[in-house]
Chain A
Amino acid sequence: DIQMTQSPSTLSASVGDRVTITCRASQSISSWLAWYQQKPGKAPKLLIYKASSLESGVPSRFSGSGSGTEFTLTISSLQPDDFATYYCQQYNSYSLTFGGGTKVEIK
Chain B
Amino acid sequence: EVQLVESGGGLVQPGRSLRLSCAASGFTFDDYAMHWVRQAPGKGLEWVSGISWNSGSIGYADSVKGRFTISRDNAKNSLYLQMNSLRAEDTALYYCAKPASRGRPYYFDYWGQGTLVTVSS
Contact = CB atoms under 8 A, between A and B. Distances in A.
B32 interface: no
A66 interface: no
Contact of A46 (B59, B100, B112, B113): B100
Contacts of A101: 44-45
A95 B45 CA distance: 13
B44 A96 contact: no
B95 interface: yes
A44 B111 contact: yes
Contacts of B27: none
B114 A89 contact: no
Given A43-B95, A43-B113, A44-B111, A91 B105 contact: yes
B109 interface: yes
A98 B109 contact: no
Contacts of A36: 45, 108
A94 B59 contact: yes
B53 interface: no
Contacts of B114: 43
B5 to A, nearest CB: 12
Contacts of A83: none
B46 interface: yes
A34 B59 CA distance: 20
Contacts of B76: none
B50 A94 contact: yes
A96 B112 contact: no
A100 interface: yes
Contacts of B95: 43-44
A2 to B, nearest CB: 11
Contact of A34 (B47, B107, B112): B107
Given A46-B108, A95-B47, A95-B62, 11 more contacts: A34-B108, A36-B45, A38-B45, A43-B95, A44-B95, A94-B59, A94-B104, A95-B59, A95-B61, A96-B47, A96-B50
- Which A-B residue pairs are the 8 nearest by beta carbons? A43-B111, A34-B107, A96-B47, A91-B105, A98-B45, A101-B44, A94-B59, A100-B44
